């Protein structure tokens, strides 16, 4: 009798634990690397090709533009996440378990291609202290960087550009360079590109 109960439980587990019908979904993206994004209200989740949720609904996933449609992408086992702090939005990456692997510290980032991503690194420079205003004087700059899956900088792709927090509220800087293969990045220079091996 005991063995019979164990067998019944084993057969019922898939029915209750793995069977999922997603309802009231607002949007379903195409699959990328075996995962699709689904939207419900203001939150996104990822499903696998069997329709099972692998990343539950959350509000920190970052939609990216794909053929004039915006949705998050899980590529190279990583997806973009965001965090707001001091009127700025910082971007990082989480893995297929939903664990943050690259803390949100970039002004912008693109999905991983060929195990690398292009991101905008914010650099804060301390200029001194203003005694009259009783506050530190700082300057901000940013630059495009190529990062690996651990968040380490592989290459610096652009010079330093000035950054204004006030201007950021109206329009954030854009990533202009792009990864074109597993060994080559097209680095933006004014209105042209130069190809660089990395």
Contact yes or no for 142/129 (Cβ under 8 A) = no
Q: Nearest CA to 74 among 27, 118, 20, 34?
A: 34
What SS3 state is found at 21?
coil
More confident residue, 16 or 195: 195
Residue 92 · residue 99 · CB < 8 Å? no
Residues 6+ apart with CB under 8 A from 122: 88, 90, 105, 106, 107, 140, 141, 142, 163
Residues 79, 73 contacting (CB under 8 angstroms): yes
Q: CA 108 → CA 15, 16, 130, 168, distances in Å?
A: 42, 40, 30, 12
Domain boundaries, given as residue ranges, for the chain: 23-75, 105-198
pLDDT at 12 (0 to 100)? 46
pLDDT tens per residue, range 147-178: 999 999 999 999 999 998 877 767 789 999 99
| pLDDT bracket for residue 10 (50, 70, 90) | very low
Convert the pLDDT of each residue in 23-74 to its tens digit.
Answer: 889 999 999 999 999 999 999 999 999 999 999 999 999 999 888 899 999 9
CB 43 within 8 A of CB 53: no
pTM of the model: 0.81
Q: How far apart are CA 172 and CA 190, in angstroms?
A: 18
- Report yes or no: 72 and 44 within 8 Å, Cβ to Cβ: yes
Q: Is the pLDDT score of 95 beyond 80?
A: yes
């Amino acid at each position: 009798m005991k063995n019979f109960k164990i067998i019944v439980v084993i057969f019922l587990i898939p029915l209750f634990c793995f069977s999922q019908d997603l309802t009231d979904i607002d949007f379903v993206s195409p699959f990328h690397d075996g995962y699709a994004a689904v939207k419900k209200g203001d939150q996104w989740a990822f499903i696998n090709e069997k329709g099972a949720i692998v990343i539950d609904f959350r509000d920190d996933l970052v939609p990216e533009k794909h053929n004039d449609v915006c949705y998050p992408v899980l590529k190279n086992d990583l997806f973009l996440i965001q965090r707001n702090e001091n009127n700025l939005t910082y971007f990082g990456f989480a893995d297929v378990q939903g664990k943050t692997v690259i803390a949100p510290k970039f002004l912008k980032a693109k999905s991983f291609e060929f195990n690398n991503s292009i991101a905008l690194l914010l650099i804060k420079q301390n200029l001194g202290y203003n005694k009259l205003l009783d506050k530190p004087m700082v300057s901000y700059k940013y630059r495009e960087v190529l990062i690996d899956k651990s968040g380490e900088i592989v290459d610096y792709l652009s010079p330093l550009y000035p950054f204004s927090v006030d201007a950021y509220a109206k329009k954030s800087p854009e990533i202009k360079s792009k990864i074109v293969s597993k060994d080559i990045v097209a680095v933006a220079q004014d209105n042209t590109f130069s190809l660089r091996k990395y």
